[in-house]
């Protein structure tokens, strides 16, 4: 019997790739582990890993140390910003540093629109976290994030230090006992007022992109709301939508590798 000239790792890559493009592995979900791939295709760990590395190199998946490999998430080295999963709504720019401006509680009754977005009574405390992303040539985005005081009270005292190396949502999930399940985003074009013009180093009246995001837990309760102002001349958010096709019949894959 003649040996298949196509390497086993590449045939596995093709099978996994077809599952991704066909929607068998939905966007943002976790790819099977190396052990699961080894068991399904009867191959060695080396071959399973080579197949996954092929998916990584073609930017179909992205590895997160300690978490696993996820479908169609962004490569942080890419210059554009394409949101395909909840995590990808974060600005990932290798040239931009994080600059924390404030962690504070708002005065009661001073932020009625935010309280409404978080479905909070007017007398409940709200924490605000203000930060920027700054490239060498200047700021690209400014964010005012808000969360209910009941959740904020569970965050560690060194939150400011932790934000230098971690994102707000993972910290909320870790310390507050909630899990972000979905996010709703509303995009609006706004003119920079005097304060925002100073933060983003533009002239007052300059058009900015405002992304208003509300994160919900699995029960549909809002846990986080933010106003993210973006200089579109320095950073262009992109959203990619995919049509899920019917599952493609997989070609028979030999056990030999």
Answer whether residue 206 shows pLDDT above 80.
yes
Does 224 lie in the same domain as 110? yes
- Domain assignment present for residue 53? The answer is yes
* CATH number where 88 lies: 3.40.1410.10
Does 31 lie in the same domain as 86? no
For residue 181, the model assigns a pLDDT of: 82
Does 64 lie in the same domain as 180? no
For residue 72, the model assigns a pLDDT of: 62
- What confidence tens digit (pLDDT) does each residue in 71-100 have? 864 444 444 444 444 544 566 666 788 899
Number of domain units in the chain = 2
- Domain assignment present for residue 3? The answer is no
* CATH number where 16 lies: 1.10.10.10
Does 97 lie in the same domain as 46? no
Does 94 lie in the same domain as 67? no
Does 101 lie in the same domain as 12? no
Give yes or no for a contact between 83 and 240, defined as CB atoms under 8 angstroms apart. Answer: yes
Does 141 lie in the same domain as 15? no
> CA torsion sign, 151 to 71 to 211 to 233?
positive
Give yes or no for a contact between 96 and 135, defined as CB atoms under 8 angstroms apart. Answer: yes
Does 91 lie in the same domain as 214? yes
Domain boundary at 41, 71, 101, which? 71
Domain boundary at 19, 41, 71, which? 71
- Domain assignment present for residue 125? The answer is yes
- Tell me phi and psi for residue 135, to 5 degrees: -90, 170
Domain boundary at 45, 71, 97, which? 71
- Domain assignment present for residue 250? The answer is no
Mean pLDDT computed over 39-65: 88
* pLDDT, greater one: 181 or 40: 40
- Domain assignment present for residue 134? The answer is yes
Does 145 lie in the same domain as 35? no
- Domain assignment present for residue 106? The answer is yes
Answer whether residue 234 shows pLDDT above 90.
no
Does 225 lie in the same domain as 184? yes
- Domain assignment present for residue 193? The answer is yes
- Domain assignment present for residue 45? The answer is yes
Structural domain of 229:
81-239
Does 166 lie in the same domain as 52? no
Answer whether residue 20 shows pLDDT above 90.
no
Residue pointed to by tokens 């760990």: 45
- What confidence tens digit (pLDDT) does each residue in 171-205 have? 888 899 888 888 888 999 999 999 999 999 999 99
Answer whether residue 4 shows pLDDT above 70.
no
Does 90 lie in the same domain as 64? no
* pLDDT, greater one: 161 or 243: 161
Q: The pTM is what?
A: 0.62
């Amino acid at each position: 019997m003649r040996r298949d000239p196509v390497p086993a790792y590449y045939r596995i890559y093709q099978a996994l790739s077809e599952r991704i493009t066909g929607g068998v592995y939905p966007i943002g979900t976790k790819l099977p582990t190396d052990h699961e791939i080894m068991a399904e295709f009867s191959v060695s760990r080396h071959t399973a890993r080579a197949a996954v590395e092929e998916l990584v190199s073609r930017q179909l998946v992205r590895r997160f140390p300690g978490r696993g490999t996820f479908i169609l998430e962004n490569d942080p080295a890419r210059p554009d910003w394409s949101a395909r999963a909840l995590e990808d709504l974060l600005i990932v720019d290798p040239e931009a540093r994080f600059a924390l401006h404030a962690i504070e509680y708002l005065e009661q009754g001073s932020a009625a629109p935010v309280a409404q977005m978080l479905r909070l009574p007017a007398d409940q405390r709200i924490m605000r976290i203000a930060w920027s992303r700054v490239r060498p040539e200047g700021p690209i985005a400014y964010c005012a994030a808000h969360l209910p005081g009941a959740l904020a009270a569970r965050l560690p005292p060194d939150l400011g230090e932790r934000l230098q190396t971690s994102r707000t949502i993972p910290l909320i999930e870790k310390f507050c006992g909630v899990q972000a399940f979905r996010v709703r985003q509303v995009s609006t074009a706004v003119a920079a007022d005097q304060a925002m013009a100073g933060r983003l180093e533009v002239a007052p009246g300059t058009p900015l992109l405002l992304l208003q995001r509300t994160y919900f837990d699995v029960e549909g309760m809002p846990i986080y709301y933010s106003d993210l102002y973006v200089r579109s001349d320095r950073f262009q958010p992109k959203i990619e939508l995919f049509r899920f096709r019917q599952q493609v019949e997989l070609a028979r894959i030999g056990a030999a590798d």
